[in-house]
Structure 1
Amino acid sequence: MATTPPHRARVATALAGLLIAAASAAALVSCGGDEGDDGTASPRPTPSGPYTASFSGTPASALATLAASARARVSAAASSASARASEFEASVSAEVARAHAAARRALADVDGQGNAMADVSLTGKPRAEAADLIAVVVNITNRTDRTASYAVQVDFRDSDGEVVETRYVGAQDLAPGAGKQPLAVSHLAPGRRLTAAVTKAQRY
């Protein structure tokens, strides 16, 4: 039996190792990515997030909806306050509307502050007793010696001193020395900081 020379055995072993290494590399390439039409591996696309470079915030339609909702809440609060004020005034006196109209008519032609400022003063009323509304007690006292009627204008001012609401109250046929305490109630939405003051008071 013929024997292979030692140098030929070493060459054969080296060639076998190269063939095995080449086969392994081909297998790795085949498993590592997708192949294109020409048999070459195609690179995998890198995932990316949504494009936001031109995105500036809430969409205009959403902002419009929020603004409309805010206006609706303010309007509803004002309407609710006005309704509660009317109900509260009516519960205190059934003649509030008539007295309001009469006082307004009596003051329509009055110049200046009127002739009865000294007969009128204001006292604050706790909100807990006024359905959480801003209300003041208008203290009217007939300091003359004969029966008289009174008309009073109360202005509500904001923190800047601007008149934001005017209410009218009155007292009919007060005997000498008698008094009456009608309420002037703001119909504006609760939460505003308002101050009340007598602007006109007329005895007639």
Structure 2
Amino acid sequence: MARCRVRTFCAGGLVAAAVLISAGCSNGGSPSSTASRASKAIASATASAKAELNEIKHGVNAKADVKAGAVSIGQDGHAVAPITVTNKQDHKASYAVEVNFRDADGNLLDVAVVTVSSVQPRSSKKATARSHRELSGHLKAQVGAAVRY
């Protein structure tokens, strides 16, 4: 049975965002400056994930081949979401999928990249996207990008 690898990127940037958000005004900064720094950290995490996807040689946009399911919170507090990749091609393919975890207001909270290897022609394969930090509340997983190679 082929294994699915899960990779997450920019842990430092997202952890920094969490620290900034939790720090609030205690460091003398205004709430808006703290939110701005957190927003920049999240944007940096997204850019890093996209850059990783762009490094795949001979990749093809395959976002339409991927679906994200409902998010649940694992016992460790991390968000998990089932991912289904459907290979509509006539040859075996692998996929790299950017999964965005968002809150009920649509705010980006975390980014994970899931690699799904060796999906057989005209079949589907499941994987799991996992946040690399604890999340809570009503969350949604969204496919940000997907590359078939």
Distance in 2 (alpha carbons) for counterparts of 1:189 and 1:171: 23
Over 3 Å counting, the alpha-carbon distance change for 1:176 and 1:117 in structure 2 is same
Matched, 1:107 2:107: no
Distance in 2 (alpha carbons) for counterparts of 1:100 and 1:191: 18
More helix by proportion, 1 or 2?
Answer: 1
Over 3 Å counting, the alpha-carbon distance change for 1:121 and 1:146 in structure 2 is same
SS for the counterpart of 2:132 is coil
Correspondence 1:88-99 to 2 at 5 A:
96-97=5-6
The aligned residue for residue 200 of structure 1 is: 145
The C-alpha deviation readout for 1:22-56, integer Å capped at 9, x for no partner, is: xxxxxxxxxxxxxxxxxxxxxxxxxxxxxxxxxxx
Uncovered stretches (5+) of structure 2, i.e. residues with no partner: 10-48
Aligned residues of 1:104 and 1:151 also touching (Cα < 8 A) = no
- Correspondence for 1:151 among 73, 90, 96: 96
Aligned residues of 1:156 and 1:186 also touching (Cα < 8 A) = yes
Greater gyration radius: 1
SS for the counterpart of 1:191 is coil
Distance in 1 (alpha carbons) for counterparts of 2:51 and 2:91: 22
Correspondence 1:1-204 to 2 at 5 A:
96-97=5-6, 107-109=53-55, 115-124=61-70, 126-127=72-73, 130-131=74-75, 133-204=78-149
Regions of 4+ moved over 6 Å = none
Distance in 1 (alpha carbons) for counterparts of 2:136 and 2:62: 32
CA shift at 1:150, angstroms?
A: 0.6
Distance in 2 (alpha carbons) for counterparts of 1:94 and 1:115: 22
Distance in 1 (alpha carbons) for counterparts of 2:92 and 2:128: 22
Distance in 1 (alpha carbons) for counterparts of 2:84 and 2:4: 17
More strand by proportion, 1 or 2?
Answer: 2
Aligned residues of 2:71 and 2:140 also touching (Cα < 8 A) = no
Distance in 1 (alpha carbons) for counterparts of 2:50 and 2:3: 17
Higher mean displacement: 145-154 or 173-182: 173-182
Over 3 Å counting, the alpha-carbon distance change for 1:169 and 1:104 in structure 2 is farther
- Larger RCO: Structure 1 or Structure 2 (Cα < 8 Å, ≥ 6 residues apart)? 2
Residue correspondences, number: 105
Aligned residues of 1:136 and 1:185 also touching (Cα < 8 A) = yes
SS for the counterpart of 1:188 is strand
SS for the counterpart of 1:144 is coil
SS for the counterpart of 1:186 is strand
CA shift at 1:108, angstroms?
A: 2.8
Over 3 Å counting, the alpha-carbon distance change for 1:180 and 1:95 in structure 2 is closer
Identical positions, percent: 31
